[in-house]
Structure 1
Amino acid sequence: MTDPFIIPEEESASEAIEAIRDELELFDDWMQRYRYLIDLGEKLPDFPQEWQNDHFRVMGCQSQVWLNFREKDGTIFFAGSSDAAIVKGLVALLLRIYSGRNFPEILAVDPIFITDLGLAGALSANRSNGVASMVQAIQKIAQSYL
């Protein structure tokens, strides 16, 4: 089995947000961007079946979303998944931003990037609330280490 925890591609969370912004701008409309999100979700490492339970579930999401983490030397690595294709893509997007970062960097990332990237306006209210719940869960984990 491959390691389910995400290793960041970019040096920092802000670089990841900028890279995602650039990638989203390549698409002409939100149908293409949804396809991009679905593709991101399909590329996530497999999330172990034994973690797909209420212990790892992110509450506040309409779809089932699971999140696990490991901490090593002040850095948190996240693994996640969802049972819904677009939401799984949103999980992948958030993990690209937050995984492999130290506690202060995770807490310093202002979730306004969700609005700045145009995601908040393009998602249903339930999905937007779910994204906010995922960000809160990630930041709560980081906060617990400070």
Structure 2
Amino acid sequence: MSLPTDAVTALQAFQAIGGWEQRARLLMQWGERLSALPEADKVDANLVQGCESLVWLVGHLQDGHWQFAASSEARLIRGLVALLLARVNGLSAAELQTVDLPDWFAQLGLSRQLSPSRSNGLNAVLQRMRELSCTQH
């Protein structure tokens, strides 16, 4: 399966740098690129369950491909969510089911920085995306 353009961009950027400090800086930059969600979308119905940090997620189907938007108060989580969005935006519902989260963050060189709680939180976000994609065709 080919990667969305943003995912390729992310991979090239993260694979081009060494050390964790540079990756952490890049991670924060990705988080800053995340468009702010309108306050109207920051409602309990859009809150992802299973995250220690508050993460809101909305998604819509456009020509058979999913586009998600998300927001979080936590800077590090915002960066990780931005990278997850880069990986999944533009996928079909079927492709969304096959996304391998640990593999994606391993490719980015970020798996060591994913604590179990962060990993669980990101899995919860991906799970919520899959639920949305199954309920809206």
**TM-score normalised by the chain length of structure 1:** 0.80
Task: Please state if 1:141 is matched with 2:129.
Answer: no
Residue 27 of structure 2 is aligned to residue 37 of structure 1: yes
Alignment of 1:58-77 (within 5 A): 58-77=48-67
C-alpha separation in 2, matches of 1:143 and 1:67: 15
Deviation at 1:72, TM superposition (A): 2.4
Contact 2:31-2:79 within 8 A present in 1 as well: yes
* Identity score, percent: 33
Aligned partners of 1:107 and 1:143 also within 8 Å: no
Gaps of at least 5 residues in structure 2 are none
Match of 1:81 among 71, 85, 88: 71
Structure 1 residue 30 displacement after superposition: 1.4
Q: Secondary structure at the match of 1:28?
A: coil
The equivalent position to 1:49 in structure 2, one of 13, 33, 39, is 39
2: CA distance, partners of 1:80 / 1:115: 18
Alignment of structure 1 residues 1-16 onto 2, 5 Å: 12-13=2-3, 16=6
1:89-116 Cα distance to aligned partner (Å, 9 max, x none): 1111111111122112212222232453
Cα distance in structure 1, aligned partners of 2:4 and 2:106 = 12
Deviates more, 1:116-125 or 1:61-70: 116-125
What is the TM-score when the length of structure 2 is the normalising length?
0.85
Partner of 1:8: none
Alpha-carbon deviations, 1:11-41, whole Å to 9, x = none?
Answer: x436654443321122221121111111111
SS of residue in 1 equivalent to 2:45 = coil
5+ residue gaps, structure 1, are 1-11
